[in-house]
Amino acid sequence: MDFLATIGRVFLTFLSHVGRLSAFAGTAISHVVRPPFYPRLTLRAMIDIGYYSLPVVGLTAVFTGMVLALQSYSGFSRFAAEGAVATVVVLSITRELAPVLAGLMVAGRIGASMAAEIGTMRVTEQIDALTTLSTNPFKYLVAPRLLAGVLMVPCLVLVADIIGVFGGYIVGVYKLGFNPSSYLARTWEYLEPLDVISGLTKAAVFGFVISLMGCYHGYYSRGGAQGVGAATTNSVVSAAIMILIFNYVITALYFGK
């Protein structure tokens, strides 16, 4: 009976978290679309997410493209399909690797920072202070970050697409000996708008998830430095898991025929 009670307790706790997260997300979204708006804060969050994440996302993308070119060349040469390297690189980058890897990197960089900042504000009563100063914390803290996440992660992924393909091109042309113009031609030949659009859709959803989990865990953090640390960890882990789950769901919706 103890075993069943434990399962029941865990399940109820899980449901309570899902309910609280859903309510948090609903409230946050409603504040994104209702005035007053905070353009200055939104712009600052956009710069934090978009501009300051560029180096880490760019590095991830360029090396991913390079490795992908090497691996696919090495694998495809077993059945004389080396010519597909450029196509494999561009499709893998745009559909999967750029959005997922950029999402995970941004979750580690931005999600953690949001949870730590908002969590510290919570435990030092700064969020209560906002309320007493007639400022809704959802509008002031959560809505700008949510909007910035949805807008900027697709921009990052677009850049990652270009840099990732460029990484594959560098290895393809300078290491594997492909002709530059034929490599570029093969890159464009099978690329369809849907490949890029599906990746950008994923990026927008991942941006939402990253900001949501960072704000949610920070907002409900408790118990001083330890609580803020736990909130930071939880925001990164939960965002990473949700990114992987949503990646499958969106892929299935676009390409699961």
Partner 1 sequence: MTAPAKIVLSDVHKSFGKKVVLDGIDLSVAKGESVVIIGGSGTGKSVLLKSVLGLLRPEKGSIKVDGEEVIGMRSKDRDRMMLKFGMLFQGSALFDSLKVWQNVAFGLIQGRGMEREQAHAIAIEKLASVGLAASTGELFPSELSGGMQKRVALARAIATSPEIIFFDEPTTGLDPIMADVINDLIVKCTKELGATTLSITHDMASARKIADHIAMLYKGRLIWIGPAKDIDHSGNEFVDQFIHGRAEGPIKMELRA
- Residues at the interface with partner 1 (CB under 8 A): 120-121, 124-126, 128-129, 131-136, 140
Question: How many residues does this entry show for the chain?
Answer: 257
**CB 39 → partner 1: shortest distance, Å?**
13
Phi, psi of 217 (to 5 degrees): -70, -35
**CB 132 → partner 1: shortest distance, Å?**
4
Distance, in Å, from the CA atom of 30 to the CA atom of 228, rounded to the nearest integer, reads 26
Handedness of CA 33, 35, 40, 45 (dihedral sign): negative
Structure tokens at 181: 């113009």
If the CB atoms of residues 40 and 78 are measured against partner 1, the closer one turns out to be 40
If the CB atoms of residues 125 and 189 are measured against partner 1, the closer one turns out to be 125
If the CB atoms of residues 134 and 181 are measured against partner 1, the closer one turns out to be 134
DSSP 38: -
Chain position carrying tokens 């103890």: 2
Chain position carrying tokens 């597909």: 84
**CB 176 → partner 1: shortest distance, Å?**
49
**CB 17 → partner 1: shortest distance, Å?**
17
If the CB atoms of residues 132 and 181 are measured against partner 1, the closer one turns out to be 132
